[in-house]
Amino acid sequence: MTEIKIGDKQKYLLENYPFAEPLKLTDKKKCIHCGEIITVGDFKVFKDAFGDEYICCPNAPDCDGTVIDWIPVGE
Ligand SMILES: [Zn+2]
């Protein structure tokens, strides 16, 4: 997996977020893989060997969580 730099993170999120309700860069989420509260705008993007891009936990590559592993804070 290769990290790619995103210039406009809000635009990237709008275009690539897999769920209907858009995230804001200032939203806080809990990553269930590393257990940490993360700020959405700190997300990293990694591209795999097939060219697919993944919105990953700010703690990547130490954490293998992606955007689908983020839950509302407090749950
Ligand atoms: Zn994580």
Give the span between the Cα atoms of 8 and 22, in whole angstroms: 15
Q: What's the CA-to-centroid distance between 71 and ligand 1, angstroms? A: 11
Q: What's the CA-to-centroid distance between 51 and ligand 1, angstroms? A: 22
Q: List the alpha helices (DSSP H) in 1-75.
A: 9-16
Confidence of residue 22 (pLDDT cuts 50, 70, 90): confident
Give the span between the Cα atoms of 66 and 36, in whole angstroms: 13
Task: Kindly report the backbone phi and psi dihedral angles of residue 66, in degrees, each rounded to the nearest multiple of 5, phi listed first.
Answer: -125, 180
* Residue type (1 letter), 44: K
Q: What's the CA-to-centroid distance between 75 and ligand 1, angstroms? A: 15
Confidence of residue 2 (pLDDT cuts 50, 70, 90): very high
Confidence of residue 75 (pLDDT cuts 50, 70, 90): low
Percent of the chain with pLDDT over 70: 99
Higher model confidence: residue 20 or residue 3? 3
Q: Provide the residue range defining the domain that includes 47.
A: 2-72
Number of domains in the chain: 1
| Strands across the sheet containing 2-4 | 2-4, 44-47, 53-56
Q: What is the pTM of this model?
A: 0.90
Helix (H, G, I), strand (E, B) or coil at 47: strand
